[in-house]
Amino acid sequence: MKKLITALVACLLIASPVLAVAVPVVDVDMDVGSGTVSLTTNGFDSSAWHPNAVGETNSFVGMGGFTGTYTAYEGSYGALSTYAHVNSYSGGADLVMTDTQNFNVLSANHINNVVGSFYAHASGNDNQVAMNLKSIGSMYVWSEATDPYWSPALQGSLIEKSVSTTQNSILKTNLYLGVTTTGLATMSNSNIWGWTNGETGTSSTNYGGEIRTVSATGNGAITQAGFGANSLTFNGFTFGAGTASFSGSFTGGMSGTYSMSSS
């Protein structure tokens, strides 16, 4: 039976010598006809470096009508491995995943004072909204990925992703890509790994290399932006410290590839 589900989940995770174990600490099946699901999972360090400090926080919020799963596994030094596989019903849905990484905790006290953030959003008024993402934290680099790799990472009439880092509370990197359309927009990766943050204050849309693609049907607009306090590469252009942006409008669809990294 479809039903309204409203939930908040916060889990104390015990550090282990491997990133993920076979049994999830959070495992939620969702079948929502009209409502809201809000899930938050915290990873707590159980090592001697930062006992009980949060290394990573992952959140998922779904609104509207949708079905899917959200699963989280424990990892080392407060890291998480989380998975969201969600598809909308005919009335549409609004889906958001966020992730925050405290690299002082995750890296067992390298003390670069870097905090990373990730945001992914897909929404629309039909049954084709989709989110198929995994978020994998580790000691030195965090990355999202498409899971399973052949599915759209994000799909809807509005899709967007961003990653950023701060060091000593000062913005160091920021990358963004978003599409709105009257049709259907999709982000996909030829390599399952996608957008990433590093513990020294780096960000990239192309972790693991290969091609990142965005496409859309219908009429709409695309916006892309990048910032690097020390360096920025943007669709093949190389900058020192600086910013770059691209925006365009389209009629009858569009498709293309993108690549951004900054430090």
Question: Do 55 and 25 contact (CB within 8 A), yes or no?
Answer: no
How far CA 165 is from CA of 193, 199, 223, in Å, comes to: 18, 9, 20
Q: Tell me what pLDDT residue 191 has.
A: 79
**% residues pLDDT > 70 (the chain):** 91
> What is the pLDDT at residue 9?
38
Helices (H), 95-169: 103-106
Name the 3-class secondary structure at 103.
Answer: helix
pLDDT of residue 224: 98
pLDDT digits (tens, 9 = 90+) for 173-187: 999 999 999 999 999
Residue 32 has pLDDT above 50, yes or no: yes
pLDDT digits (tens, 9 = 90+) for 121-139: 999 999 999 999 999 999 9
